[in-house]
Amino acid sequence: MEAISNINTDLQDDQDFADAEKTVKWCTDVETRLSATKSHIMGQAQDIDAVIRTLDEVNEEARQVRLRLERLVKNRKQEIRDKIVLDANEAFRKHIADLEVSFGGKIRMPAVGIDVAGAIKGKKTITSLRDSADAELARAKVEASTIATGITHNLTTLRDQAAGFEFLFHDAQQLVLKASEDLQAVISNRINEHKQAEQLRQDQERERIRHEELKKIEDQKLAEQQAAAQPAEPAPIHTAAAAEPAAVQPVKQQAPADDGQRIKLGDINSTLGFTVTAEFLRSLGFDSIDRKGNAVLYRSSDWPRICAALVQHINSVATQKAAA
């Protein structure tokens, strides 16, 4: 009984687990042997109640110890497995965090796989569990460090080749994961496209300004021409007591320079809304300068003067009519 009660149940290392497993086998053997002894004694003596009770007690104690040790071994092994997995994953998480700090910005590492639980599957001893976990952790760290080296190189490329154009690379998180050659091609293409677009915008802006300036010049020229073509105020007309037929007086205005443009007599009549003849225009001082088929042609530059002469003539006739 003392041997059974002194069995070690504080399992810490591989030796403790090995001893516990041997003790489980020993307890099983004790149970078997005691059962056989019990059967033997019962066949040899009539009054063996005390012996049987003692054997039953020892047997039950051995069984309880065995069950307790089996549960303890199973639970402690699982606890140790879980802690090994947890510690390895935490060490890897810290390694990733350190790598991201080295980038010096908002760049983050991509997901890197680590399977500690899978690595220790099937391992029986604590030593083999830890060795397998350490090996998987080391493998994952190497993979992560290799990726981080590429990211660091690409970050340097971005800072050097995209200086002044950082606003074109808001997707740096994705770009730094590319192959170095691919990243350089992306940088070159984006900057060239931006420069071309900016050059086009500047050209269009210059063209817009040029058109505005030309329009200002044309508007000013037209305003000056219109101002020059305004008719003078007609002089007061003094008539005799008896009304005489109105005499058509030619308008004495300096003719503007001939710009080569021509207007037909028919177009003059259409614009005025009434008909005037070539003879009447001649009486106002406007001779035709050419003919084209049946069309009589006048200088387009004389149009303002023609209108002014017509107005003056109409005013003169109206004044004479009123005085009659």
CB contact burial 105-126 (16+ within 10 A = b; e otherwise): eebebeebebebeebbeebeeb
| Residue 296 DSSP code | E
pLDDT in tens, the chain (324 residues): 666 666 777 777 888 788 788 888 888 888 888 888 877 777 666 556 777 788 888 888 888 988 988 898 889 889 999 999 999 999 999 999 999 999 988 899 999 999 999 999 999 899 999 999 999 999 999 999 999 999 999 999 999 999 999 999 999 999 999 999 999 999 999 999 999 999 999 999 999 999 999 988 988 888 888 787 765 555 454 444 444 444 555 545 566 777 778 888 888 988 888 898 989 999 988 888 888 888 889 988 888 999 999 999 989 888 887 876
Place of tokens 């037909």: 264
Give the residue among 249, 238, 248 at the shortest CA–CA distance from 323.
238
Per the structure block, which two tokens stand in for 139?
Answer: 């493998």
Q: How far is CA 32 from CA 8, 25, 39, 60, 180, in A?
A: 22, 11, 11, 12, 72
Contact 302, 254 (CB under 8 A): no
Domain ranges of the chain: 2-140, 262-323
Strands 262-264 and 295-299, sheet pairing? antiparallel
Per the structure block, which two tokens stand in for 268?
Answer: 């003059």
The answer to pTM > 0.85 is: no
